[in-house]
Structure 1
Amino acid sequence: MKRKNTLSLLLMLVMALVIVGCGGTTEPKQEEKNGQSATPTTLSVGLIPAETKISAETLEKFRAYLEQETGLKVTMNNYPDYNGVVEALNFNKLDVAYLGPLTYVIAHKKGGAQAIVAKTAKGVPFYYSYILVHKDSKYNTLEDLIADKQNVDFAFGDPNSTSGSLIPGMELKARGVYRGKQDSDFKSITFTMAHDVTALSIQNKKVTAGAIDSAYFDKLVEKGTVDGTQFKKIWQSEKLFQYPFVVKKDMDAATIEKLQTAFLNLKDKEILDAFAADGFVKATHQDYEAIEKAAEADGRLK
């Protein structure tokens, strides 16, 4: 009888363990329910090379600020080109990234990245693409430039730049003088890979004309990197929504809120100047739908 009771108790114990085990596998974690990863303890931040001369000291100050405001360990990563940041984000090598509008919609399409804040310049989250020439240039309008296209050395920025490539490139395509990197009616096409290089190339008369981000150009003039009196603007785009900071697809809501709060409270001029910004506002993917449509029309989203 004692042996029978012992076997019964053992059987009941095994059944209880099985039930508990099954219960643990059928009830997903809260993060899994919401399609989010667990709250991270570290953040890896990647930056596009919109401007080539952000000092190591400024980047360290920015890293320390984010670390203090979020309570998470933060690492900062500079990339040599726009596409490198997109790929790192899509392959989960980055948690947060600073992107141009075009690179953001590409990252969203490829890997589900989400915009959380956008910078402001002159108090608004908009900017323009400019085509500039030297003040001594005989060209006063884009029409003048195109009429003499065979003598024009034209500079774009990074191929994945919104204001330095996509938008001005579409304008020149619409006017029938530009079809791609290796196919245009200009004397030459150059990709400088950064807005400050484009501006300096125009100022030093190394190129005839160039496409540039209006906010970065204004900041370069303010800092004395270039002399604003040495330029003429011969074309300006419609307004574009500003550069965002984005997070990877499955970032948890609590971390997103911490990051948004940190950016909205950022007042340090040295850090803001590094991004040609005077502040940040919240942003969503909807803010970039116009850029997304332009990228689709230009065959950039596949």
Structure 2
Amino acid sequence: MPIGANCGHNKEKKVLTMGRATEHVVKQQSKIQPIIKYLASRLKDMGIERGEAVLAGDRKYATLRKRVKEGKIDIILESPFKAAGLKRDGIAYPILTLSRRGAGEYNSLIFVRKDSGINTIEDLKGKIIACEDPSSTSSCYLPRAVLRAEGFDMEEITPPNPSASNGKIGYVFAGTELNVSSRVFYKKVAAGALSNLDWSTPGDVPEAYKAKFKVIWESPKIIEFVVLVGAGLDKRLVERIKEEMLMMNKTAEGKKALRAYEFDRFIDSPEKIDKLMTYIERLIKPDEEETD
């Protein structure tokens, strides 16, 4: 059976949809709608009459997968982990990446207090790392996946458990980037995990905090966003979508639409995408996909 044969796309599309997995439907819709509306306006030659933002409604990979397979989301803006899952399952494939706020890549950092006596990840066994929330790729999923791949046992700590098991590294969810750095600063946890972009943002890691911190671990850099299309989408339409996306930052209307999500531009980088997908596929554990 050809790839995408069961997907609910068709060649006579009039409505083009774009979306992702999120619990913050209203917020994400306000960011995505300007982009898909602009894109649809440029694809009238392909029979597209309008564009709509369609969100999966929760963070779970299974929900996103179902929506894409049913043809309800044509263009997907996702983290590398969900993107790799969709590609592996044969229901969508990556076509572009993005630059946001001047950066197209980021990595995860784990930091501790300078006076903690902790110098390596090995020293965190039996201790706890603060992460932002389960849906954060940079603060939770990426460091957890990489550390597990490197042989470290990780466990989520929930009340009333005060500490991690012997030989394991525990993690808790702090809710926000500032809460992560605050918990480390006030010695509520041994370490914190954030992206290098958060680390450089005073609102997330105040300078007074940072003066007391040191970074003990960094993940490899990964792409922040991957753009995918449903596997059953007409190939001629896909080529036009790519063409218009790559030109968005060249027009005033396109730039305005991109600014809604703080995007700078779409990037055509097939080799970088292939390398990233291969790397992420090695990290994915089937029982972890639901939380990304």
Report the TM range for the smaller structure's normalisation.
0.5 to 0.7
Matched, 1:77 2:54: yes
Paired residue for 2:14, among 41, 48, 61? 41
Cα deviation for residue 284 of structure 1 reads: 3.8
User: Which residue type is aligned with residue 80 of structure 1?
Assistant: D
Q: Which residue of structure 2 aligns with residue 226 of structure 1?
A: 204
1:60-86 alpha-carbon deviations (Å, 9 max, x no partner): 433432332333311112332151323
* Higher helix proportion: 1
Q: Say whether the 8 Å CA contact 1:47–1:97 is kept in structure 2.
A: yes
The separation in 2 between residues aligned to 1:82 and 1:271, in whole angstroms, is: 27
| 2:282 alignment partner in structure 1 | 296
- Give the SS at the match of 2:238: helix
Unaligned runs of 5+ in 2: 158-163
Residue pair 2:131, 2:192 contacting (<8 A) in 1 also: yes
- 1:286 CA drift (Å): 6.8
Aligned pair in 2 of structure 1 residues 214, 236: CA closer, same or farther (>3 Å)?
same
Please point out which of 169, 181, 193 is paired with 1:203.
181
Q: What corresponds to 2:126 in structure 1?
A: 150
- C-alpha spacing 1:246/1:175, structure 2 compared with 1 (3 Å): closer
**TM-score (structure 2 length as normaliser):** 0.67
Distance change >3 Å, CA 138–CA 176, structure 1 → 2: farther
Instruction: Tell me what 1:61 maps to.
Output: 34
- Equivalent residue of 1:296, what SS? helix
Partner residue of 1:262 out of 223, 236, 244? 244
What residue number does 1:4 align with? none
Q: Partner of 1:251: helix, strand, or coil?
A: coil
In the alignment, the residues of structure 2 paired with residue 174 and residue 109 of structure 1 have an alpha-carbon distance, to the nearest angstrom, of 19
Rounded Cα–Cα distance in structure 2 between residues aligned with 1:43 and 1:150: 50
Between 50-59 and 168-177, the greater mean CA deviation after superposition: 50-59
Counterpart for residue 115 of structure 2: 138
Alignment partner, residue 267 of structure 2: 281
Give 1:116 deviation, angstroms. Answer: 1.4
TM-score scaled by length of structure 1: 0.66
Q: How many residues are paired up?
A: 256
- Structure-2 residue corresponding to 1:119: 98
Shift of 1:38: 0.9
- How far apart are 1:240 and its partner, in Å? 1.8
1:108 is displaced (CA, Å) by: 1.0
Most deviating of 110-119 and 263-272: 263-272
The one-letter code of the counterpart of 2:148 is K
CA shift, 1:148, in A, is 4.7
Q: Distance in 1 between matches of 2:35 and 2:235?
A: 22
Structure 1, unmatched stretches of 5+, are: 1-31
Identical amino acids, percent of aligned pairs: 18
Structure 2: which amino acid aligns with 1:287? I
3-state DSSP of counterpart to 1:106: helix
Q: Deviations over 1:118-173 (max 9, x none)?
A: 0125766432222245xx66358661x642543424326436x6544454124433
What's the secondary structure of 1:189's corresponding residue?
Answer: strand
What is the rounded CA distance, in whole Å, between the counterparts of 1:139 and 1:265 in structure 2? 50
Query: Helix, strand or coil: the match of 1:278?
Result: strand
User: What is the rounded CA distance, in whole Å, between the counterparts of 2:204 and 2:27 in structure 1?
Assistant: 16
- SS of the equivalent of 2:115 reads coil
Cross-structure match for 2:233: 251
Larger radius of gyration, structure 1 or 2?
1
Aligned CA distance change for structure 1 residues 273 and 117 (closer, same or farther; 3 Å): same
> Which residue of 70, 93, 109 corresponds with 1:91?
70
How far off is 1:41 after superposition?
Answer: 1.0
